[in-house]
Amino acid sequence: MKIITIVGARPQFIKAAVVSRAFQKLGIEEKIIHTGQHFDPNMSEVFFTEMQIPKPAYNLAIHGVNHGAMTGRMLEKIEKVLILEKPDLVLVYGDTNSTLAGALAAKKIHIPVAHVEAGLRSFNMQMPEEVNRILTDRISSVLYAPTQQAAENLKAEGYGNFDIKILIVGDVMLDAALFYADQLKEKPTEDEYFLCTLHRAENTDDLSRLKALVGGLNEIHKSTKVKLPLHPRTAAILQKNDITLEVDTIPPQGYLEMINLLKNCKGVITDSGGLQKEAYFFQKACVTMRDQTEWVELVENGVNVLVGANREKLITEVKAINNKKLDFSMNLYGKGNAGEEIAHSIKLLFK
């Protein structure tokens, strides 16, 4: 049995590493294609060694072009690899252009597709990721839903009528967080701080939103430090528009460094998708600077709150963290064995 896994961004490598470890235990052959979608200088030799991640068999080096051109080039190159390798199954993760291109390339030449993180919905079709998720789900043979809500989204869209298997397996990022946290050489920090990220295009490309959020973060920082790994793109936009960010900015951090910052922070302020979940994994309250979230169960259970780009609401909700008594005991994302569940099911379904 041979699996081809397709990834294109650093978070997808971390997710894929979880399942790759399970494949190795079961003796399943896997080859990884890296599309090159996100050119990340942190993905050096040290990254693969430190994170115990298998190196890609193929690197397509496709990045730095618009959505249509990127997806088209990936489709062409991935198809060539699949014809050469003749895998039994193609495995894709999440919602990037790499995800959709990999699923399309496989489906066109009649190779079954399995989609990890299926069924997530923001219900905002302006997001390229939402389009990628929906199309990938529809052409997959197996959908691995991370949560009950994700499975319910699929059923509401009529997936029960399709020849597609839907399995609730838990979230592979919980597996990753537990695995790497256990290996982490913890570096305690001396001050209280909120961990913050600010990089989503809906916030950085809309100057009215960006100014409102920066104003809120600057105000919060006056009473409790805000520590923000600053994305180069965000930094360039701030500089170009003469917007002053008065928080404690630090360089972009690797995954292990972010886990350490998470474990030691007072709470999380973010517009990231993954960090909302990771805050929950490490029992931290989260304030999300977005209008929607795919992780609705976090909001429904009171451990995450959406503030959009409302400056005053941002300040109020972050201050309220001090008085919140939150319940992190809910089993929202499985038991930390999603990778094993996925690998075992693949062995049974495609043997």
Q: Per residue in 242-279, pLDDT tens?
A: 999 999 999 988 888 999 999 999 999 999 989 999 99
Region 117-135: what's the mean pLDDT?
Answer: 94
Mean pLDDT of 13-27: 96
Residue 125: helix, strand or coil by DSSP? coil
- Note whether 23 and 30 are within 8 A (CB): yes
pLDDT exceeds 70 at position 313:
yes
Whether the per-residue pLDDT at 78 is higher than 90: the answer is yes
Better pLDDT: 317 or 322: 317
Q: Which class is 184-323 in CATH?
A: alpha beta
C-alpha pair distances (Å), 123 with each of 66, 150, 164, 174, 193: 23, 12, 22, 24, 32
Q: Tell me whether the CATH fold assigned to 2-171+334-349 matches the one assigned to 184-323.
A: yes
- Placement of tokens 């923001």 in the chain: 122
Q: Report the distance separating Cα 296 and Cα 317, nearest Å.
A: 17
Is CATH 3.30.750.200 the right assignment for the domain spanning 2-171+334-349? no
pLDDT band for 31, please (50, 70, 90 cuts). Answer: very high
Q: How is the chain split into domains, by residue range?
A: 2-171+334-349, 184-323
**Band of pLDDT at residue 41, cut at 50, 70 and 90:** low
Whether the per-residue pLDDT at 188 is higher than 80: the answer is no
* pLDDT of residue 187 exceeding 80: no
Looking at residue 189, its pLDDT comes to 62
For residue 56, give the DSSP letter.
Answer: P
pLDDT interval class at 190 (50, 70, 90) = low
Average pLDDT over residues 70-85: 97
- The chain-wide mean pLDDT, for the chain, equals 94
User: Please, where are the H alpha helices in the chain?
Assistant: 10-26, 45-50, 67-85, 97-108, 128-139, 148-156, 172-183, 201-204, 207-221, 232-240, 255-264, 274-281, 296-300, 311-320, 338-349
pLDDT for res 48: 83
Please report the DSSP string for 10-37 in residue order.
Answer: HHHHHHHHHHHHHHHHHT-EEEEEE---
* pLDDT surpasses 70 at 135: yes
For residue 149, what pLDDT is reported? 94
Q: Tokens representing 189?
A: 């920090």
What pLDDT, on a 0 to 100 scale, did the predictor assign at position 212? 98
Work out the average pLDDT over 291-301. 93
Interval 45-62: pLDDT, tens = 777 887 888 999 999 999
Q: What's the CA gap between 37 and 49, in Å, rounded?
A: 21
Query: What mean pLDDT is predicted for residues 275-284?
Result: 96
| Catalytic center residues | 199
Q: Look at residue 324 in the predicted model and tell me its pLDDT.
A: 87
Distance CA 208, CA 184 (A): 39
Distance CA 116, CA 97 (A): 15
pLDDT more than 70, % of the chain: 97
Is residue 20 pLDDT above 90, yes or no?
Answer: yes
Q: Is the pLDDT of residue 42 over 90?
A: no
Task: Take residue 105 and report the two structure tokens written for it.
Answer: 């390339």
Give the pLDDT score at 60.
Answer: 95
Higher pLDDT, 188 or 21: 21
**Contact between residue 248 and residue 221 where contact means Cβ atoms under 8 Å apart:** yes
Instruction: Provide the edge-to-edge strand list for the sheet that holds 142-145.
Output: 58-59, 29-34, 2-7, 89-93, 113-116, 142-145, 165-168
Q: Is residue 26 over pLDDT 90?
A: yes
